[in-house]
């Protein structure tokens, strides 16, 4: 399955490309959207930047927050746009900002959580005053990198374009902070009931956030691999917390965590409601609004476009699989 498929296999691509999935996906997608031409991106700078992004994503050898995750989130954002022709609603700059935010959103992730940074008073926690510690670092470090000419892929944007691009990217990446999750979902639910248009940056931020937590929305073979990788990363943090005599964070104790159960909870409580709101938001965006005074009896209202939601069958499949594993674990104990 290629880049235009909901079941795109980033693991297979990463193997075929010898651990360069990020470089391949990013180059392909920027090319596909004609953004390299549109914004006169130097291919040398792009190549250099993508190499640096891969280096940064590999810095801490994370099982989960690595270059495959970046490539996956970028491809998922593309799919959400692609499935719904959202490209027509977005400017070239919006599409560029969305894809760029997706690919950089976990740059130089330390493989530990914000809470771990805060409780260990890490360098990053000190720099960012315990607020969105990692998320601030991801964006800041990439913009700092692009201050060097050899990595600057935005040097041909006009001043106003760059200002808007930068603001959108910052907003999107900072919105991947899980501590903002419930507020973000609640705000969007409210926004789509209002007569005003959906705020573009908030819409794009929800797309990135859903893509970021979206592995349970993919087929089981992919979801299972991502789950194992994320659990291993959490457990390593738990091991460090044990060594430091810190309380072990939720989901981080390899001796007590029941993975199937925690995944079921994560899907039911976090991921599925997010994708529900995502689908509703897209419907609200692509449905042509009929002004009140035109709603006469004899004019048929245009049909509401159907938003494809390929994630729904995946949720069902994955929840069944986890439920079966939960039952299996119970029968053994």
Does the annotation place 69 within a ligand binding site?
Answer: yes
Structure confidence at residue 44 (pLDDT):
99
Does the annotation place 106 within a ligand binding site?
Answer: yes
Nearest residue to 200 via CA among 79, 273, 101, 72: 101
Does the annotation place 13 within a ligand binding site?
Answer: no
Contact 316, 219 (CB under 8 A): no
Does the annotation place 194 within a ligand binding site?
Answer: no
Contact 141, 107 (CB under 8 A): yes
Single out the catalytic residue among 20, 65, 78, 215: 65
| Residue 42 falls in which region: left (phi positive, over 0), alpha (psi -120 to 50) or beta | beta
Structure confidence at residue 293 (pLDDT):
57
Does the annotation place 117 within a ligand binding site?
Answer: no
Structure confidence at residue 303 (pLDDT):
77
The string of DSSP letters for 125-145 reads HHHTTTSSHHHHHHHHHHHHH
Helix (H) / strand (E) containing 106: none
Structure confidence at residue 295 (pLDDT):
57
For the chain, domains (ranges, CATH) are: 10-285+307-332 (1.10.1300.10)
Return d(Cα 50, Cα 56) in angstroms, integer: 10
Does the annotation place 37 within a ligand binding site?
Answer: no
Does the annotation place 105 within a ligand binding site?
Answer: yes
Q: Tens digit of pLDDT per residue, the chain (333 long)? A: 699 999 999 999 999 999 999 999 999 999 999 999 999 999 999 999 999 999 999 999 999 999 999 999 999 999 999 999 999 999 999 999 999 999 999 999 999 999 999 999 999 999 999 999 999 999 999 999 999 999 999 999 999 999 999 999 999 999 999 999 999 999 999 999 999 999 999 999 999 999 999 999 999 999 999 999 999 999 999 999 999 999 999 999 999 999 999 999 999 999 999 999 999 999 999 997 766 655 556 667 777 788 999 999 999 999 999 999 988 888 887
Tokens of 44: 């040398």
Catalytic residue at 65? yes
Q: How far is CA 283 from CA 63, 93, 101, 140, 240, in A?
A: 36, 22, 23, 33, 45
């Amino acid at each position: 399955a290629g880049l235009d498929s909901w079941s795109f296999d980033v693991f297979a691509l990463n193997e075929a490309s010898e651990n360069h999935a990020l470089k391949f996906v990013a180059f392909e997608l920027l090319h596909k959207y004609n953004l390299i031409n549109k914004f006169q991106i130097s291919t040398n700078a792009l190549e250099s930047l993508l190499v640096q992004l891969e280096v940064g994503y590999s810095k801490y050898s994370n099982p989960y927050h690595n270059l495959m995750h970046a490539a996956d989130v970028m491809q998922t954002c593309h799919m959400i746009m692609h499935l719904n022709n959202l490209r027509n609603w977005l400017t070239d700059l919006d599409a560029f900002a969305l894809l760029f935010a997706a690919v950089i959103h976990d740059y130089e992730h330390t493989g530990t959580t914000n809470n771990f940074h805060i409780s260990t008073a890490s360098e990053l926690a000190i720099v960012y005053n315990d607020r969105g510690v990692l998320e601030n670092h991801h964006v800041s470090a990439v913009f700092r990198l692009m201050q060097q000419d050899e990595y600057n892929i935005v040097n041909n944007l006009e001043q106003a374009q760059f200002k808007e691009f930068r603001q959108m990217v910052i907003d999107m990446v900072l919105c991947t902070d899980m501590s903002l999750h419930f507020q973000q979902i609640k705000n969007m639910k409210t926004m789509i009931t209002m007569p005003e248009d959906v705020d573009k940056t908030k819409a794009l931020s929800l797309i990135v956030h859903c893509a970021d937590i979206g592995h349970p929305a993919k087929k089981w073979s992919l979801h299972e691999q991502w789950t194992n990788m994320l659990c291993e990363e959490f457990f390593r943090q738990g091991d460090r917390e044990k060594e430091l005599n810190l309380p072990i964070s939720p989901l981080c104790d390899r001796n007590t965590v029941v993975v199937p159960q925690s995944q079921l909870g994560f899907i039911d409580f976090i991921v599925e409601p997010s994708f529900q709101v995502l689908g509703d938001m897209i419907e609200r965006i692509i449905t042509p609004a009929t002004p009140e005074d035109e709603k006469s009896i004899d004019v048929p209202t245009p049909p509401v476009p159907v938003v494809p939601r390929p994630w729904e069958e995946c949720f069902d499949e994955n929840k069944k699989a986890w439920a079966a594993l939960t039952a299996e674990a119970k029968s053994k104990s």
